[in-house]
Amino acid sequence: MKETTQKVEKVVRLEVLTPKTELSFGKAWPYAPAPEGREHIRLQSRYQLFIGGKFVDPRSKRYFPTINPATEETLAEVAEADAGDVDAAVQSARRVFDRYWAKMPGRERAKYVYRIARMLAERAREFAVIESLDNGKPIKLSRDDDIPLATAHFFYYAGWADKLEYAFPGRTARPVGVAGQVIPWNFPLLMAAWKIAPALATGNTVVLKPAETTPLTALHLAALIQEADLPPGVVNIVTGAGATGGALVNHPGVNKIAFTGSTEVGKIIQRTIAGTKKRLTLELGGKSPNIIFNDAPIDAAIEGIIGSIFYNQGHVCCAGSRLIVQEGIAPIVIKKLKDRMQTLRMGDPLDKNTDIGAINSKPQLEKISELVQSGVKEGAVLWQTTCELPARGYWFRPTFFTNVAQSHRIAREEIFGPVLAIMTFRTPEEAVEKANNTPYGLAASIWTDKGSKIFRITNKLKAGVIWNNTANMFDPSAPFGGYKESGFGREGGVHGLYPYVELR
């Protein structure tokens, strides 16, 4: 073991001296603009609530703007649902559950879910553009990840609808009732799909509340669901901020709450429904590590880090926001990371060359800036790319910190921005200790050439998902969820059916 490490270190030192690795690219090569068209999408100036299969005005009579974070332009006004609107949505979900949807044979429900999947696939380009406009993420992510994955979830769970007896052999699975679902802004349509698809496949009805800064794809999904002829009331979409989410969580007619969002709000929800009969799943925050050993494929690991923290502006619950790297290779990893980060293109989210888009909102940008300042104040060493920031909109340079102590806020708190805290380790035991030294436990990635090391370390990490020599890979058939303050319950795979069924 000792011998192998020494050999690897020698190779690494040699590599440092070769001219190829000394070469610094400095900046991204200029590409001609390649904007994705907007002509094929039609945004409304105003969006109503989707209740009982119809678009209706809010009883509150209030609307709020949703903003393009890359330009600060208002994209549309969106209805703000109050407790009365939420009540109407829950009642409509209850009516159709009792009369129709829960009794429908699985093979019939499957047809509806398949139809939603097919229609979403056909209109993927439209949804990708709307997602990038409303969220600020690059079109290459919404086009290649968010929308295809959302579609895949509908396809996957449609497949389970008539096969529940195989998912739960010897038991009968019955739907739970009305599911109240509250989702965040980082993967707006994907989070809606994670919630709606398993609920419908198992015979539940839904009231979904999207995040207030990214409601548009959920509202376009509502229009698609209407077109798909889903029985009115099976899916209801109520827009608004925390108060609307609170009204849904508190509604006595809701049987199950599925929440994805911050740990802070997750705790409020858990307290609120304690003592009621409501079921709960919580998908919360994270502070996930990328652990890189001396024998790791370094270039692949660099791409993994870039993908897991910098693409998507760090707006990923399982973002690898801590880099825990073995001491011997730390200098080369940091050098390669700098070179790669300097080539990242930041700018117009609709440009197909853009790697890094806008931060989703002004409050989120302020939160990132405050945490980064705390890192500097506490003595960590800051490094940022030198790319130009657009004049308007909310932007933050890809950033990393070295000289990070485990007690620093940047090492402990979820930043939810393109900011990486780098720490080193000498032994595998130290790597495990540092990786687990967080209140969270959502995900982790281990980078090493040795399969045996992967198994040993994986078994000691307290994280819901662990990737080996890769990062942030998703598939509808694979369960996802947290440990500790990252929440409980699983979404995806057969595990994702459990929260929506009662087994007899």
Contact residues for ligand NAD, defined by CB under 6 A = 182-186, 209, 211-212, 241-242, 245-246, 249, 260-262, 265, 268-269, 283-286, 317, 414, 416, 442, 482, 486-487
Burial classification of residue 278, based on how many CB atoms lie within 10 Å of its CB (0-12 exposed, 13-18 middle, 19 or more buried): buried
Distance separating alpha carbons of residues 74 and 72, to the nearest angstrom? 7
Active site residues: 283, 317
Cβ at position 349, least distance to ligand NAD in Å: 18
**Cβ–Cβ < 8 Å for 220, 256:** no
Cβ at position 313, least distance to ligand NAD in Å: 12
Distance separating alpha carbons of residues 226 and 158, to the nearest angstrom? 18
Q: Which C-beta is closer to ligand NAD: that of 207 or that of 330?
A: 207
Q: What count of other Cβ atoms lies within 10 Å of the Cβ of residue 262?
A: 15
Nearest to 88 by CA among 61, 120, 145, 49: 49
**Cβ–Cβ < 8 Å for 343, 432:** no
Q: Residue 268 has which token pair?
A: 């409020």
Using the structure block, give the residue that is written with the tokens 């509502």.
222
Cβ at position 438, least distance to ligand NAD in Å: 13
Q: Residue 487 has which token pair?
A: 């929440």
3-state secondary structure of 323: strand
Q: Residue 116 has which token pair?
A: 């939603």
Q: What count of other Cβ atoms lies within 10 Å of the Cβ of residue 314?
A: 25
Cβ at position 185, least distance to ligand NAD in Å: 5
CA atoms within a 13 Å half-sphere pointing along the CA-CB vector of 8:
20
| Strand pairing class (443-447; 465-468) | parallel
Nearest to 78 by CA among 237, 268, 282: 237
